[in-house]
Amino acid sequence: MLSMDTGIVLPGELTAILSRMRGDARHMPPKQLQTVLNAEWGPGWYSRFARFDVRPFAAASIGQVHRAALPDGTDLAIKVQYPGVRASIDSDVDNVATLLRLPGLMPRGMDLSPLLSEAKRQLHAEADYLAEAQHLRQFDSLLVGSDIFALPTLHDALCTSQVLAMRYMESVPLDSLVDAPQGQRDRVAAALIDLVLRELFVFGAMQTDPNLANYRFDPKTGRIVLLDFGAVQPVAPALAADFRALARVALDGGDAATHRAMLRIGYFGADTAPHHQALIQSMFNVAMGPVRQDAPFDFGTSTLLETLRDMGLAIGNDRELAHVPPAATLFLHRKIGGMYLMATKLRARVALRPMVETHCRDQSLE
């Protein structure tokens, strides 16, 4: 998430450094790559290809991606996991926990154990490429026939728990559209925001990693290419119903009803101090501003992110606030926050209220 910052939270120099994490991290040397693939595919694997580019064309935090071609000419993108990633997850998270326990970093009494356990579980899931392959199949079936989105097809014979083989798709980075016509930028942003709503309210599953490298654009077809399904989270029907109820009452601006809906989801607890509850609800109300208006919201000129940043820092600096929201809500907000940053980068104008109303109308009245 920090690597997607546009300078609102971090200094520009640090933003530029972190942005390289999205797809240009350090990669394995060829000898180490050969060792990994020998273990996954067996010695002599190179003979299965007409071409295999040893140098990756993309590298990120968990693995790197190579171009390859099969003897029949099929062009593949092959994601290879770095050795030792799975074995280091628990110790890495524990080390972060140790840092967070330093005096003054976190509010007194805040118990992060459930969140850290969930972080370990999610990272282990992301490191299982066979699970990611299954998520890719799931979303491919959910979006079959779409003229808006395109997903790579799997090459199952080469997939293992540490190697994911897919058909290579020609595309350009999504942020290459920053100077595209306004209408095109608006359509792309609206499509990705609507996809989040469908994931939450229709699909029952959400890809929760909004890294911009996971979204690309095919100029020939005009479709958005969706990549990387490692961070897919199931959305329980009860949670979707709670969020539908929250959105419905928040659109109408009813403070008491909004407070009850936020309490039910877990944004704060019944034992959270009243002034802390009020602070959190005020931040939520500000965040809902773009959704409440009927006119298209102009992401490019809005100062909402700066306002929310300042409110969030004020809340975070309150040493007495110890409530930790459920992990499911944090993953959801990671995705929503990422989509907001994406739309801001594209300087998109999107009418959000009709989109939310479509998914959150009272189904009991239909």
Which residue numbers are catalytic?
Answer: 209
173 vs 35: CA distance, rounded Å: 31
Residue-wise DSSP of 129-180: HHHHHHHHHHHHHHTTT-SSEE-PPB-GGG--SSEEEEE----EEGGGGGGS
Side-chain-facing half-sphere of 14: CA atoms under 13 Å: 7
Residue-wise DSSP of 5-30: --SSSS-HHHHHHHHGGGTB-----H
Q: Tokens for 326, please give them.
A: 């459920």
The residue type at 47: S
156 vs 114: CA distance, rounded Å: 35
Strand order in 215-218's β-sheet? 149-150, 223-226, 215-218, 172-173
Contact 93, 74 (CB under 8 A): no
Side-chain-facing half-sphere of 229: CA atoms under 13 Å: 23
Q: Tokens for 247, please give them.
A: 């959105």
- Angle at which helices 274-287 and 255-265 cross, to 10°: 100
63 vs 47: CA distance, rounded Å: 23
End-to-end CA distance of the chain: 39
Q: Which residues contact 35 (CB under 8 A, 6 or more apart)?
A: 83
